[in-house]
Amino acid sequence: MGVTEIDETYFRAASCLGANDGQIFRDVVVPGAMPSIVIGLAIGMGICWMALVAAEMIAGEHGLGYMIWEAYSLAQYPLIIVGMFVIGAVGAGMSVAIRFLGHSMVPWQKN
């Protein structure tokens, strides 16, 4: 998706300036697709985090999802709240890390 949104003018300009296919890929395609790649990383990380916790609740023997499910089964509500806060903190930390990575990979894009 990111590559299809690159303006055709950039490809033509690179070809007119004598760039070969490898140079076009390195200097036009990768930088042009990088914003979409960073967005895909952020969305994928969120989905993976939700799937991991859900899988731990269903079939795990360790992890935050398992801990929350066991606390729910034993009516230990404070432990459930602690697990929810830890999940939120880890998710926020991952989000900050991906945002930092995105800013370093795509410095020309504003938020």
Q: What is the spatial distance between Cα 109 and Cα 98, in angstroms, rounded to a whole number?
A: 15
Q: ∠ CA 90-88-2 to the nearest 5 degrees?
A: 70
In terms of DSSP H, where are the helices of 1-108? 8-16, 21-24, 30-59, 64-73, 77-105
Give a yes or no: residue 70 inside a domain: yes
Structure confidence by residue, pLDDT tens digits, 87-103: 999 999 998 999 898 88
Give a yes or no: residue 10 inside a domain: no
- pTM score, two decimals? 0.73
Structure confidence by residue, pLDDT tens digits, 10-55: 999 999 999 999 999 999 999 999 989 988 998 999 899 889 989 9
Give a yes or no: residue 56 inside a domain: yes
Give how far Cα 21 sits from Cα of 9, 24, 25, 27, Å.
15, 5, 6, 10
Question: How many domains does the chain fold into?
Answer: 1
Full domain range(s) for residue 91: 34-105
The owner of tokens 């731990």 is: 56
The answer on pLDDT for 104 being more than 80 is yes
Q: What is the phi-psi region of residue 63: left when phi exceeds 0, alpha when psi lies from -120 to 50, beta otherwise?
A: left
pLDDT at site 16: 93
The pLDDT mean for the chain works out to 90
Give a yes or no: residue 84 inside a domain: yes
Give a yes or no: residue 87 inside a domain: yes
pLDDT at site 24: 94
pLDDT at site 111: 58
Q: What is the spatial distance between Cα 100 and Cα 19, in angstroms, rounded to a whole number?
A: 31
Q: b/e map of 40-67 (b: 16 or more CB within 10 Å)? A: eebeeeeeebeeebeebbeebeeebbbb
